[in-house]
Amino acid sequence: MKTVNLADKLTQFDSHWDPHVVADYNDNDVMVVKFQGAFPYHLHETTDDFFLVLEGEMMMDLDGGDSHTIKTGELFVVPKGVTHRPRAEKECKVLLIEPKGEPNTGDTATATSKPRI
Amino acid sequence: MKTVNLADKLTQFDSHWDPHVVADYNDNDVMVVKFQGAFPYHLHETTDDFFLVLEGEMMMDLDGGDSHTIKTGELFVVPKGVTHRPRAEKECKVLLIEPKGEPNTGDTATATSKPRI
């Protein structure tokens, strides 16, 4: 049990689209991640996807053309089964929560690992 | 599906120790809450308890005497079964995640409702 400083954790890596686990909540990974550019469209068949912007601004593009802006101090939950694409023009720092073992792309064939820091 | 601005939600109530639901993540309530003073010691038998300080500073007092400081931009997860007491000298604004139906005191006899805003 310890306090986790998110800004400190975010100094420990520079890579984009590369979530790092900083805490556990029940069977979920609590992660920090840096977004820049556009991620591929994908969906998570069995889980919602939780995003909280810690610093910067991102877009959540949804299948069908809707797009939502998410700024510092704002959160967005993508319901399970909804095709989506996070996107950020400039680097954006995000708190991400997903169930343990869930591939970040929704597909184990293309997913990154989620190292713990 | 919509973006949730946490600061806006926090302007909608003044009460302390009174969590308000702002989003859903799988079977969890994502809530904002204002802490001031000391909450009773309690535990959650079947779930972890997730705290992220949005503004201010709080303490997490643990059974046995340990106490952890949690400041803006810091998170703390209390594992299930661990007796704890959130405390704040000055008002502290917090993002809280707990499973739906979980009493905030760990006990339905003493729990508050968790209205949605």
- Nearest chain B residue to A3 by CA distance is B76
CB B58 within 8 A of CB B94: yes
Summarised one tens digit per residue, pLDDT across range A15-60 is: 999 999 999 999 999 999 999 999 999 999 999 999 999 999 999 9
Q: Which residues lie below 8 Å from residue A21, measured CB to CB, with a gap of 6+?
A: A29, A30, A31, A114, A115, A116, A117
B57 touches chain A (CB under 8 A): no
Question: What is the identity of the amino acid at A30?
Answer: V
* Interchain CB distance below 8 Å, A5 and B50: no
B100 touches chain A (CB under 8 A): no
* Interchain CB distance below 8 Å, A22 and B75: yes
For residue B110, the SS3 value is: coil
Average pLDDT of the residues in A87-114: 94
pLDDT of residue B101: 92
**Which chain B residues contact residue A5 at CB under 8 A?**
71, 73-74
* C-alpha to C-alpha distances, A4 to A87, B56, B77, nearest whole angstrom: 26, 15, 9
pLDDT of residue A112: 87
CB A80 within 8 A of CB B24: no
Summarised one tens digit per residue, pLDDT across range B1-30 is: 999 999 999 999 999 999 999 999 999 999
* Interchain CB distance below 8 Å, B3 and A47: no
* B112: pLDDT strictly greater than 90: no
User: What domains does chain A contain, in order, with CATH numbers?
Assistant: 6-99 (2.60.120.10)
**Which residue stretches of chain A are H helix?**
6-10
Question: What is the identity of the amino acid at B69?
Answer: T
* B94: pLDDT strictly greater than 90: yes
Confidence band of A89 (pLDDT split at 50, 70, 90): very high
- Nearest chain A residue to B55 by CA distance is A73
